Structure 1
């Protein structure tokens, strides 16, 4: 049975040990819950006139609400004495329960305004591939530890079959990806930066110059790198626009595997320029930029409407945007 399933029928609370509602919502809606605030003021002051002042109301109006409370609860609640009104035993029993209820209601209305990420202890997931993790994670994690040291945030590959469905289902809270800026009514997106692709090849590969053209690359063996096909389509479109195609001899799913694969060979791979400093730590490879708008891929930060106002998801978005800012220049 999935969480939230119940063997009870609608409105049936028999055997309910989970603290469920005692009344169906339709019945509870008939109750004037504003009277609970009035009752709290009356029990705190033991005075109709003082309660009226606290409520910014009048004494006759507060007296009428006290009569309604007596009818609703079936108890006098406050009785007159020589000097002041005294709470009945039932009223004394209700007071701590009432205080707890009002504090919980207050949290509902003030949680966002009073939110402190330093106290966050929840678990959150960011869908982001390994190449983007390599350049965004260091700055992001450093800022996260300073801002929300107790939060549990994991970075993971974007779940299959699509990032949109993963965001919709809650499998991930936000996504950083080569995501096309297509209109989707339930998704929001922010452009982080545009990734310009270029050519990674062996340092000794003299067939590839400093600024290779499609004609230069066409006859050479190429390693394709793509997880979901978006980048492959982009690069194929670039070559197709110049009337040629790539000579693909193998496929990888991670850019981080490319340096070892092409070093000392005639192969090359098209990789994003933001990874060039990291990939070129390998002494056997070099990066040759290709300046062409057809080889530009937008990297977006995406999230679902259902978390748009969530306080900590908003913090995550801010930290990711800040960590990606250097890549936009």
Structure 2
């Protein structure tokens, strides 16, 4: 209640800046988000620090982190802005006029599946929205969301830290890719033939393909990995003219479903399907442009 009373005495525009600063943890990104100049945001931060008699954001290891006082303010700030928006109605948002850069973290699988349709939509209805893509491990992507270094993380996240919200985009399953000529007239591999062959694994350094090998381990089997790659993009190219087997998320193989030189088929053992989600920091929940982008991604995901 004390924080709510304090916030009621602060200029509404300053509250909006504070909300964006605590979400972005970066002066220039806050300026871009609010269509303000960087000096104006820095001046507003100075006024906020004076009003609250607290630094609010502290530089640590090259990044801005919220002070203990700022963390205490967040719930009351969120509620105060929610009440204002409830009275004034939703913020006006025109995607055709929006000028903003969003930072998305995802693997090259996510980029291949989501990005083409998303970019066509953005160029058609929101040409002023730009995207910057990054790729790292699941844990690192979620850390970027929490630190304000990215707006959205898309992928498979079995464990979520506090403060990250998610929405499922689709359910994915696995499929196998082999050179069709190596099948000897068959259309797939049985279990023994599958395990007799060398395999291609796509995995980040600290992120083994747990789903596939855990399913094999559960039935007392194991496969030989002939090559491990950090990126999906080159993996299918290794299959032509070899006896290698690639087992990956099925949507990643859409381009090869009708390739006469390659065969796509279901794995000869059960591998649990998994949800592909987008995740964001809870502080961005009410950001109208951010919400619009999340909804746009959800729409294009329905057709992949």
TM-score range, shorter chain: 0.5 to 0.7
Aligned with 2:249 (options 246, 255, 272):
272
Does structure 2 conserve the Cα–Cα contact (< 8 Å) formed by 1:135 and 1:275?
yes
How do residues 229-244 of structure 1 correspond to structure 2 at under 5 angstroms? 230=207, 232-244=209-221
How do residues 67-216 of structure 1 correspond to structure 2 at under 5 angstroms? 112-158=90-136, 162-180=140-158, 182-206=159-183, 209-216=186-193
List runs of 5+ in structure 1 lacking aligned partners: 5-16, 28-105
**Structure 2 residue aligned with 1:80:** none
- Highest RCO, 1 vs 2 (Cα 8 Å, sep ≥ 6): 2
Aligned with 1:25 (options 51, 63, 68):
51
Residue 24 of structure 1 and its aligned partner are, at CA, apart by 3.8
Does structure 1 conserve the Cα–Cα contact (< 8 Å) formed by 2:191 and 2:269?
no
Residue 209 of structure 1 and its aligned partner are, at CA, apart by 4.8
Separation in 1, partners of 2:286, 2:49: 30
Separation in 2, partners of 1:298, 1:22: 41
Residue 267 of structure 1 and its aligned partner are, at CA, apart by 0.8
List runs of 5+ in structure 2 lacking aligned partners: 1-24, 28-41, 54-83
Count of residues in Structure 1 that have an aligned counterpart in Structure 2: 235
User: Taking structure 1 as reference, are residues 127 and 23 closer, same or farther at Cα in structure 2, changes over 3 Å only?
Assistant: closer
Separation in 1, partners of 2:134, 2:252: 18
Length-normalised TM-score, structure 2: 0.67
Does structure 1 conserve the Cα–Cα contact (< 8 Å) formed by 2:174 and 2:271?
no
Deviations 1:126-156 (CA, angstroms, capped at 9, x unpaired): 1121122112112111211233211222233
Aligned with 2:195 (options 205, 208, 218):
218
**Structure 2 residue aligned with 1:286:** 263
Residue 184 of structure 1 and its aligned partner are, at CA, apart by 3.1
Separation in 1, partners of 2:231, 2:48: 55
Separation in 2, partners of 1:3, 1:304: 15
Q: Does 1:227 align with 2:253?
A: no
RMSD: 3.2
| Matched residue SS, 1:152 | strand
Residue 161 of structure 1 and its aligned partner are, at CA, apart by 5.3
Separation in 1, partners of 2:232, 2:258: 13
Aligned with 1:245 (options 211, 222, 241):
222
Rg larger for: 1
Separation in 2, partners of 1:219, 1:250: 15
Separation in 2, partners of 1:234, 1:215: 19
Separation in 2, partners of 1:157, 1:141: 18
Length-normalised TM-score, structure 1: 0.63
User: Taking structure 1 as reference, are residues 21 and 272 closer, same or farther at Cα in structure 2, changes over 3 Å only?
Assistant: closer
